[in-house]
């Protein structure tokens, strides 16, 4: 079993220069850049392997890695006894949080990128980079530099109307509900299909795997919910922590209802099929 190795994330990719950090996939240089490792777990009965996808990526090219790591872990990670049962929930929680992102490394990266943006005259981008630094840690030097830039160049947040906030919240609730419906359909649909295939004799490990679609669906749902909340906060241009927490709580409450509705859809389809035949 290997330990999580994050050394590779400090190695520059083909699109990365020595002076200014850039996404190793596309060369993008903005506030979404992160040095990050996405751990995953793969188990074969009594053997459990821990690996990770690691690198320096922009937001666009980070999406596919937690998806792949999450699917591997949720389907094949937890069937290992006993290590898989222990490590899989930990890994899925880390992935749901955005992977392992070393704070010091990312702060240095974003601060260097901010200074490069200032040299190029892109003050708004520099402000965004420094604001991302503060999300990792409240550093007095970064706050001082940010306060120097904002009034000098007039970079101030635009006021947002109540109607825009309300519409963004409603949109987030609808998407969260649909995520729940998808999880419910995937869960009951996969178990119903397995019951038809295996009849009454279901081996132990096959029974364990029957829960894999639910775990995978819940994980992907968490990623989708996180993405929805991020996009909602971006639309209303808010970095308020309490607003983010409120939105997360309200949106997450709609997911169980969506799961119930998804189960009900499959249940009605199954009953209709049985009655029809």
If one compares 79 and 131, the residue with the highest pLDDT of the two is 131
pTM, 2 dp? 0.64
pLDDT-derived band at 9, boundaries 50, 70, 90 = very low
Predicted pLDDT of residue 34: 92
Predicted pLDDT of residue 48: 86
Tell me how many helices (H) and strands (E) the chain has: 10, 2
Q: Choose the weakest-confidence range: 17-31, 144-158, 194-208, 237-251.
A: 194-208
Predicted pLDDT of residue 56: 92
Predicted pLDDT of residue 55: 92
Distances (CA, A) of 30 to 18, 22, 23, 114, 127: 16, 8, 9, 9, 11
User: What digits encode the pLDDT tens for the residues 230-249?
Assistant: 767 666 665 556 666 777 77
Residue 83 has pLDDT above 70, yes or no: yes
- Paired residues of 55 in beta bridges: 36
103-119 helix and 140-153 helix, angle to the nearest 10 degrees: 30
Most confident of 18-22, 206-210, 273-277: 18-22
Task: Rounding to the nearest 10 degrees, give the CA dihedral for residues 91, 96, 102, 108.
Answer: 160
């Amino acid at each position: 079993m290997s330990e999580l190795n994050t050394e590779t994330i400090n190695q520059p990719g083909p699109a990365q220069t020595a002076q200014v950090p850039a996404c190793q996939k596309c060369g993008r240089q903005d506030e979404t850049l992160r040095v990050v490792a996405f751990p995953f777990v793969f188990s074969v009965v009594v053997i459990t392997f821990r690996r990770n996808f690691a690198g320096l990526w922009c937001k666009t090219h980070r999406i596919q890695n937690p998806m792949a790591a999450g699917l591997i872990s949720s389907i094949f990670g937890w069937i290992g006894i006993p290590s898989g049962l222990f490590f899989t929930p930990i890994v899925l929680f880390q992935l749901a949080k955005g992977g392992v992102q070393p704070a010091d490394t990312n702060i240095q990266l974003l601060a260097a990128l901010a200074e490069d943006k200032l040299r190029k005259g892109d003050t708004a981008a520099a402000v965004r980079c420094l604001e991302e630094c503060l999300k990792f840690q409240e550093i007095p030097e970064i706050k001082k530099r940010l306060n120097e830039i904002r009034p000098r160049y007039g970079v101030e947040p635009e006021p947002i109307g109540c109607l825009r906030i309300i519409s963004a919240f409603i949109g987030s609730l609808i998407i969260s509900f649909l995520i729940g419906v998808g999880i419910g359909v995937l869960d009951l649909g996969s178990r119903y299909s397995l019951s038809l295939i295996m009849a009454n004799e279901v081996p132990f490990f096959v029974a364990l795997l029957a829960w894999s679609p639910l775990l995978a669906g819940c994980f992907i749902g968490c990623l989708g919910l996180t993405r929805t909340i991020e996009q909602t906060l971006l639309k209303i241009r808010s970095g308020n922590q309490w607003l983010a927490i409120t939105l997360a709580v309200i949106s997450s409450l709609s997911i169980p209802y969506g799961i119930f509705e998804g189960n009900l859809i499959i249940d009605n389809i199954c009953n209709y099929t049985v009655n029809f035949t």
